Amino acid sequence: METKKSIYQLHEEHKTWLNKLLFYKDELVIMSKRISEVAEKNTSKEVRSLTDHFNNQLIIQKEQIDILSHDIKSHELYLESAANDNPNAVDHDKFSDHKNHRESIATFEKLFKDLREELIDFLSKWM
C-alpha cells in the first residue's frame, strides 16, 4: 500500500535532504584540497593515478548532488503548485510519499561514505 504524507512532512524532508546535500558539497571541497596536497608532495605515477581517480570520483559525486538537488527542488515546486491550486485543502490533503527520492538519497549517502573511507585510507598512506 502506498504511503501518504502531508505536504508539511514532505517539505520538511526536502529541507533536510537539501541541507545534507549542501554539507556533502562542502565536504567535496575539503576532500579536493586534501587530494591536491598529496598530489603536490608526491609526484610518482602511482600517486598521480590515484589522485586522478579520486578527483574523478569527486566530480561524479558533485554531479549526483546537483541531480538530487534538482529532483528535490522540482518535487518541491510540484507541491507548491498543488498548494496554490487548492489552498483550502492543502492542510488536509495527503500526497504520495517520495519513496524514490528517499532511496536515491540513501544510495548516494552510502556511496559517499564509501568514497570518504577510501579517500581517508589513501590520505593516511600518502600524507
The domain segmentation of the chain, as residue ranges, is 7-125
Which 3-state string (H, E, C) describes 15-29? HHHHHHHHHHHHHHH
CATH 1.10.3470 fits 7-125, yes or no: no
**Backbone angles phi and psi of 90, in degrees to 5:** -60, -30
Q: Is pTM beyond 0.85 here?
A: yes
Q: What is the pLDDT of residues 60-82, one digit of tens each?
A: 999 999 999 999 999 999 989 98
User: What's the pLDDT score for residue 1?
Assistant: 61
Return the pLDDT at 127: 84
Q: Which pLDDT tens digit goes with each residue over 4-42?
A: 898 899 999 999 999 999 999 999 999 999 999 999 999
| 124-to-33, 34, 44, 60, 104 alpha-carbon distances in Å | 14, 11, 16, 23, 30
